[in-house]
Chain A
Amino acid sequence: MGAVKQVVPADIGGESDVAMTGSGTARQGASLRKILPIVEGAVLVAALVAPLLLQDYLTVFATRVIILALFALSFDLVWGYAGIMSFGQALFFGSAGYGVALLARDLDITNIFLVLPAGTLIGLAFALLLGGFLLLGRHPSSVIFVSLGTLTGSYAADRLARGWYYLGGQNGIPSISPMTLGSYEFSEGSAFYYLVLGILVVVYLLCRFLVRSQFGLALAGLRENEQRIAFFGYKAQHLKAIIFAIGGAIAGLAGSLYAFHEGFVWPNMVGVVVSTQVVLYVLFGGSGTLIGAVIGTIIVEGVSFWLSDNYREIWPIILGLLLLLVILFRPLGLISFVLGERERVGSFGAGNKEKHDASP
């Protein structure tokens, strides 16, 4: 993340005059700007006490949900904030999972301080490669090209993983040894849960800082009208590549956690199935709000888990119907029931709060 922070001011630091125009939206919103922290706090409290109330097997399930929420966050950053449709987010999730699985299997490296950065770097590297290729270049790429390009990348990776004997073929890599910290082994349970929750909170706060910064404002502009942002003198393609790479890194972190938590990786993890799943989470919860991604994941996975006993067959149909309804009637997701438009857009930059207080 350090590298990213250094890039941000270099790219847009000199353009704060333009950026400040966005702060007008927050002026009247000051009195309303209360709901988001409440929702975030409620989710955090619920997540903190959950293992105390849940039975052991449900804690394991909750850990998985938290990891997937981290993954959803990465997609939300890319789609909800920068308007890049990444239909292949699982490519970074899964390749990091495969990467750490190979580290554990062939090199016997399971130290948490080695495998998690390694997974993050794998996700970052793949995202830089794919994003750099798809997004950069002399002509700006169309949204259709980027979305189908990422989808194709994910599909091709799926096929490759299925056919490559070294990666275990159809079966993937089973029985990965658990993640370690010194002699302590992270096995499924509340310790793993709190570890993952801690990581989610840290990443969430970093993302929140990022999207509320000047960089975030440029991203929002990118999402609303890319051409105008380019005319302002921003390097729109570079901004996109940067946020895509950050998204890839977060997905990689989630993927490596997922691999160690489940104890195995299999081709679906890089493929279209998981890629579209994360799109579902974020659309349900509400893209363009970080908490929406987390809530969407919890709801979709929770209801899916709850219904899976009796209604396993019809649940995907219900999911499809609900998704269609959300897209048609609630394009901003379930979070838009409690969150106003003004609060969703929010304000940007560090200094503009004082300015409001000063100006009548």
Chain B
Amino acid sequence: MANAFVAAFEILSFGAIIVLIVLGLGIIASMMGIFNFAQGEFVLLGAYVTYLAYAKGVPIWVGMVAAPFLVGALGFVLEALIIRRFYAAPIVAMLGTYALGLIIRETVRGLIGGFYLTVPEPVGGSIDIGAMHISAWRFTIIVITLMVMGGCYLLLSRTSFGLRVRATLENPSLARASGISTPLIYGATFAFGAALAGLAGALIVPVFSLFADLGLRFLIQGFVAVMVGGVGSFIGPVAGAGVIGTLSAALPWVMAPVVADVLVFVLAIVFIKFRPQGLIAGKGV
């Protein structure tokens, strides 16, 4: 019983981490049609900002709050300077964002060296329920993920900004004709997606520690999750992330980790092949 509970918690917390990382990726892919290869590096930057705050003696949570804003601002600038040119060609966008990611990753690698740098958890210790202990920080991540998910959903479905984003997604020329500045909306959407990646990086760095390939590790999982969930909606990638995150955390409990690792990807690709629209088809929120 206790074992099963711990396992369930592990699966849930890993699923939450994947959801958190995929949120930004999914929003950019769904709303803009760009598979952003630099997303993993935005995660890395979020983690790096948090580490910097810790190294400079500032409270860690300050770094965690600052990370999404800084990474979001960088995303806005990059969109205006570079990403904007790629909208017409999805493959060129992949290559261009890959180049961007390479630059960011290698710069961070130069800054931190080849080390694994640890950042302590701002909420330490564990929560005891009877005889079972679960990590307080992982629990916090789950709670924050739920809050961010809810917040994004409300932002896209209930606010005028969300309406503009959805209008731009569904019919850019009609949106422009209605007086919506689509370039600004694209810039804001990209910045928002980058900010979510920065937040994800800030939150996971105490769990995984900081190293240059931190983001790369999640990037392909994130892409697969977006495809499984379905590009075009907000809820699709989140659902896909839930499935992929749960599978990759759950399967190693029942089979050899190597097999489980590969099996998740094989299953995902086979699924996408036979259901290209993903779990949740259609546009909108």
Residue A355 interfacial (CB < 8 Å): no
For A317, what are the chain B residues with a Cβ–Cβ distance below 8 Å?
102-103, 106-107, 110
Residue B147 interfacial (CB < 8 Å): no
Bound CA span A160–B265, Å: 11
Known A139-B276, A151-B223, A163-B258; judge A331-B269 contact (CB<8 A). no
Q: Which of under 10, 10 to 19, 20 to 34, or 35 or more describes the interface residues of B?
A: 35 or more
Among B1-9, B66-74, B88-96, B235-243, the stretch that binds chain A is B88-96
Residue A143 interfacial (CB < 8 Å): yes
Bound CA span A327–B98, Å: 11
Q: How far is the CB of B276 from chain A (nearest CB, A)?
A: 7
For B103, what are the chain A residues with a Cβ–Cβ distance below 8 Å?
317, 320-321, 324
Bound CA span A164–B258, Å: 7
Residue A103 interfacial (CB < 8 Å): no
Question: Which residues 85-119 of B have a CB within 8 angstroms of A?
Answer: 85, 90-92, 94-96, 98-103, 106-107, 109-110
Known A155-B265, A317-B106; judge A324-B91 contact (CB<8 A). no
Question: Which residues 130-161 of A have a CB within 8 angstroms of B?
Answer: 133-134, 137, 139, 141-145, 147-149, 151-153, 155-156, 159-160
For B107, what are the chain A residues with a Cβ–Cβ distance below 8 Å?
317
Residue A283 interfacial (CB < 8 Å): yes
A148 touches B273 (CB 8 A): no
Residue A314 interfacial (CB < 8 Å): yes
Known A159-B261, A321-B103; judge A328-B96 contact (CB<8 A). yes
A272 touches B220 (CB 8 A): yes
Known A145-B276, A152-B220, A314-B110; judge A323-B102 contact (CB<8 A). yes
Question: Which residues 171-230 of B have a CB within 8 angstroms of A?
Answer: 216, 220, 223-224, 227
Q: Which of A147, A283, A313, A324 contacts B100 (CB 8 A)?
A: A324
For B268, what are the chain A residues with a Cβ–Cβ distance below 8 Å?
152
B110 touches A279 (CB 8 A): no
For A160, what are the chain B residues with a Cβ–Cβ distance below 8 Å?
258, 261-262
Known A85-B94, A144-B35, A327-B96; judge A152-B262 contact (CB<8 A). no
User: Main secondary structure on chain A at its contact with chain B?
Assistant: helix
Interface centre among B96, B99, B100, B258 (most CB of A within 10 A): B99
Residue B257 interfacial (CB < 8 Å): yes
For A134, what are the chain B residues with a Cβ–Cβ distance below 8 Å?
269, 273
For B106, what are the chain A residues with a Cβ–Cβ distance below 8 Å?
313-314, 316-317, 320
Bound CA span A144–B89, Å: 11
For A272, what are the chain B residues with a Cβ–Cβ distance below 8 Å?
216, 220
Q: How far is the CB of B82 from chain A (nearest CB, A)?
A: 7
Residue A125 interfacial (CB < 8 Å): no
Q: How far is the CB of A70 from chain B (nearest CB, A)?
A: 22
B261 touches A163 (CB 8 A): yes
Residue A276 interfacial (CB < 8 Å): yes
For B99, what are the chain A residues with a Cβ–Cβ distance below 8 Å?
320-321, 323-324, 327
Mind listing 5 A-B residue pairs with CB under 8 Å?
A152-B265, A314-B106, A314-B110, A316-B102, A320-B100
**Across the A-B interface, the 7 shortest Cβ-Cβ residue pairs:** A163-B258, A320-B102, A320-B103, A316-B106, A323-B99, A324-B99, A156-B265
Q: A134-B269, A160-B262, A317-B103 are in contact. List 15 more A-B contacts (CB 8 A).
A: A144-B35, A151-B223, A152-B220, A153-B269, A159-B261, A159-B262, A160-B258, A272-B216, A272-B220, A276-B98, A313-B106, A313-B109, A314-B106, A316-B106, A320-B100
**Interface, chain B (partner A; CB < 8 A):** 35, 82, 85, 90-92, 94-96, 98-103, 106-107, 109-110, 216, 220, 223-224, 227, 231, 257-258, 261-262, 265-266, 268-269, 272-273, 276
